[in-house]
A and B are shown apart, each in its own frame.
Chain A
Amino acid sequence: MDIRRRNNVTVTGRADGPVVLLAHGFGCDQNMWRLVLPALAEACRVVLFDYVGSGRADPSAWDEKRYSSLEGYALDAAEVCEELDLREVTFVGHSVSAMVGVLAAAKAPQRLSRLVMVAPSPRYIDDVGYRGGFSADDIDELLESLESNYLGWSAAMAPVIMGNADRPELGQELTASFCATDPDMARVFARTTFLSDSREDLKTVTLPTLVLECAHDAIAPREVGAYVHAAIPGSRLVTLQATGHCPQLSAPQATAGAILDFLGTTQ
């Protein structure tokens, strides 16, 4: 299987720089990183990819069973590292991908050397003694939102999403297709993301880790950021003065700066 094509892998930046693997979260694709890319590319070799089921990954590689668990997504990331023979990788994972990074580190311990968790949450649903911020009903509501929005979207987006890997001219359609995903695959990813519980996995992290949280994040509140920070011994916590769940879009300079700073001080 052609992993580069399957995961729509893009490599950019300084060939001799430290390797940074940017992993998008639920909802969008590697374009989420566009605004931080210039700053990172100046100093690093940046590898971007789309998980199967998102963006411009090969839809024929979709396997509902595999991608119904975060392990499946971690396998995608590990296989990208393997395929490109990446070493000393700094895995930068946004949102649910932060937890995917934790799992990927266990799968490819010889390849990953640092972890950057952007707006992470190990569990979205409240539990005894833990506040994730959401109830199971809330997640059902989100799935409904997905449904009602895809109703109008899928017809318009389908031609853009389908069969794209061999049609680079569709790159111009980027903004049109941005965040557009096959609704069935998005539903699986949403479920997998928001019903996940990776709290136990946090304990396995031994890599130098940066937890990057936003001051006002409706999905991963500061309480959760503090939980992650406390659960990973020796981790660094940086709170960005940003609103929302996507600091790489709302505060790109600060986000890139924090990542580069972390790289510089953990060489």
Chain B
Amino acid sequence: MMCRAAEESENEPETDATDAVFTSLLEDSAEELYEHAPCGYLSTLMDGTIAKINTTLLDWLGLSRPQVVGRMRFTDLLTVGGKLYHETHFAPLLQMKGDVSGIALDLKAAEGRLPVLVTSKVKTTEDGQPLLIRTTVFDARDRRAYETELLRRRREAEEARRRAEADRERLQEALAVLQQNLLPPQLPTIAGMEGQAHYHTASPDLLGGDFYDLFPLDAGRWAFFLGDVCGKGPQAAAVTSLTRYTLRAAALHDPDPTTVLTTLNTVLHDRYSSGDTRYCTAIFGVLEPVAGHVDVHMASGGHPSALIHRGDGTADFLPTPGGMLIGVLPQVQFTAAHTRLHPGDTLLLYTDGLTEARTGPQRELYGEDALRAFVASHPPTGPKALIKALTALLTGFGDGLDDDTALLALGVPAVPEVCDRVPGGGTR
């Protein structure tokens, strides 16, 4: 520090001398600086007539001073496209604002089109009257080439995005059609019963693996099933399709629920035994409406237990414990169950999208107990009302519901007239 201070004071007279040289150089070159600046300079009258122009710009244009000064307007130096832009944008802006900067225009230069960046400022008199326009012109060849490249890339990117969006739309349409084919378009009407289903698709891009169906077996009996294939996407959908049609065909051959599921197990196991194991869980059942009630025979292969909402408002699971996953092992054991639906009772089948939804700040599993409590908290008004309440529940989960969910409710409508009700019907 001290050292430097000493040096500085020592060199002082010499610094002065250098400054003086610089100053004189600068003063000498004011004109030189204007004429040969690395950019073009020009001054025009308010109507654009060129009053003063520097040598740099004249050289770019390949014109002599007498050809230009007093004879040409600024717009005469521009290409026609540039002139149009000048008249529609540049000039109005300059007139309104008093200055415009960094506008891209093209000059009619000696060597063809010269891309430039133009900045103009209006010089005014002391009382604010516009006097003349001062303009600087920068060579923008490199920058323009870069911009052209950017624009080209942007156009390419926009085109790619458009194509991608169109592809995605087509794909979603195809997926929606496929998905619809995995489910019945609508539930059939069963005399003396009511049925309602709901399907929630977690993602429009992925085919869901949940399925359900309800169809007639013969004049008096109906079959239903609901299940969940492991995984999502096209592979899962292929399994779903195979499962659905196998269950339907097996049911027509022999509707005994455990037999049907065993057939499905054999088919899936044979089809997917080599390498890519695919399995599912499902409940299959047969409905037999008899004199005011419906007998239900069903079997489960590893699927969450069905819930029965009784006409008296209670809700209980119909246990089907120990049923094995369908398609994993060559020999399997399925659990059968039986129940009877009386007027006012509703049987609910669902997939684990519902019970495994995440809720609350801790993102806890919704769970089967909560489901039972939810159903019990609603009056037993039949499948339509129950599915409506559950659909609202699913919507309420928001992004906590991240899996496909299938719901199928089957019930016997309550008998409205009190006098028609069989006393003690619920316990017969």
Instruction: Indicate whether A3 reaches chain B with its CB closer than 8 angstroms.
Output: no
Q: Which of A31, A216, A246 is close to B47, meaning CB atoms less than 8 Å apart? A: A216
Contact A194 B84 (CB under 8 A): yes
- Contact code string A122-157 (vs B, CB < 8 Å = 1, else 0): 000000000000110011111111111101100000
Q: Which of A139, A141, A216 is close to B79, meaning CB atoms less than 8 Å apart? A: A141
Residues of B within 8 A of A27 (CB): 88-89, 92
Interface residues of B in 18-66 (CB under 8 A from A): 46-48
- Chain B contact residues, majority secondary structure: helix
Instruction: Indicate whether B342 reaches chain A with its CB closer than 8 angstroms.
Output: no
Contact A244 B105 (CB under 8 A): no
Residues of A within 8 A of B89 (CB): 27-28, 149, 179
Instruction: Indicate whether A230 reaches chain B with its CB closer than 8 angstroms.
Output: no
Residues of B within 8 A of A219 (CB): 83-84, 87-88
Tell me, in angstroms, the Cα distance from A178 to B96 when the chains sit together. 9
Q: Which of B75, B79, B103 is close to A149, meaning CB atoms less than 8 Å apart? A: B103
Q: Which residue of B lies closest to A146 (CB)?
A: B85
Interface residues of A in 25-41 (CB under 8 A from B): 25-28, 31-32, 34
Contact A28 B92 (CB under 8 A): yes
Contact A145 B82 (CB under 8 A): yes
Min CB gap A31→B, angstroms = 7
Tell me, in angstroms, the Cα distance from A219 to B47 when the chains sit together. 15
Instruction: Indicate whether A266 reaches chain B with its CB closer than 8 angstroms.
Output: no
Instruction: Indicate whether A60 reaches chain B with its CB closer than 8 angstroms.
Output: no
Contact A244 B87 (CB under 8 A): yes
Contact A138 B95 (CB under 8 A): no
Q: Which residue of A lies closest to B84 (CB)?
A: A142
Min CB gap A146→B, angstroms = 7
Residues of A within 8 A of B48 (CB): 243-244
Interface residues of B in 241-293 (CB under 8 A from A): none
Q: Which residue of B lies closest to A194 (CB)?
A: B84
Instruction: Indicate whether B365 reaches chain A with its CB closer than 8 angstroms.
Output: no
**Chain B, interface residues (CB within 8 Å), range:** 20 to 34
Instruction: Indicate whether B150 reaches chain A with its CB closer than 8 angstroms.
Output: yes
Tell me, in angstroms, the Cα distance from A27 to B90 when the chains sit together. 9
Tell me, in angstroms, the Cα distance from A141 to B85 when the chains sit together. 9
Q: Which residue of A lies closest to B95 (CB)?
A: A249
Instruction: Indicate whether A250 reaches chain B with its CB closer than 8 angstroms.
Output: yes
Min CB gap A125→B, angstroms = 11
Tell me, in angstroms, the Cα distance from A54 to B31 when the chains sit together. 44
Contact A147 B81 (CB under 8 A): no
Residues of B within 8 A of A134 (CB): 80, 84
Tell me, in angstroms, the Cα distance from A218 to B97 when the chains sit together. 21
Q: Which residue of B lies closest to A220 (CB)?
A: B87
Contact B84 A175 (CB under 8 A): no
Residues of B within 8 A of A141 (CB): 79-82, 84, 106
Residues of A within 8 A of B84 (CB): 134, 138-139, 141-142, 145, 194, 218-219
Residues of B within 8 A of A28 (CB): 88-89, 92
Tell me, in angstroms, the Cα distance from A249 to B94 when the chains sit together. 10
Q: Which residue of B lies closest to A133 (CB)?
A: B80
Interface residues of B in 63-119 (CB under 8 A from A): 73, 75, 79-89, 91-93, 95-97, 102-106, 115
Interface residues of A in 153-182 (CB under 8 A from B): 175, 178-179
Max chain A Cβ within 10 angstroms of own Cβ: one of B83, B97, B148, B150: B83
Instruction: Indicate whether A6 reaches chain B with its CB closer than 8 angstroms.
Output: no
Q: Which residue of B lies closest to A31 (CB)?
A: B96
Contact A218 B87 (CB under 8 A): yes
User: With A145-B105, A175-B97 as given contacts, are A249 and B92 in contact (CB-CB < 8 Å)?
Assistant: yes
Instruction: Indicate whether B147 reaches chain A with its CB closer than 8 angstroms.
Output: yes
30 A–B pairs (Cβ distance < 8 Å), ordered by A: A25-B88, A28-B92, A34-B96, A95-B88, A134-B80, A138-B80, A138-B81, A138-B84, A140-B81, A144-B81, A145-B106, A148-B144, A148-B147, A148-B148, A149-B103, A151-B104, A152-B104, A178-B97, A179-B93, A216-B47, A219-B83, A243-B47, A243-B73, A244-B91, A245-B88, A245-B91, A246-B91, A246-B92, A249-B92, A250-B46
The 5 closest A-B pairs by CB, nearest first: A141-B81, A27-B88, A243-B47, A138-B80, A145-B85
Please give 11 more A-B residue pairs, beta carbons under 8 A apart, in addition to A145-B85, A148-B151.
A31-B96, A95-B88, A141-B79, A141-B106, A142-B80, A145-B81, A145-B84, A178-B97, A243-B47, A243-B48, A246-B95
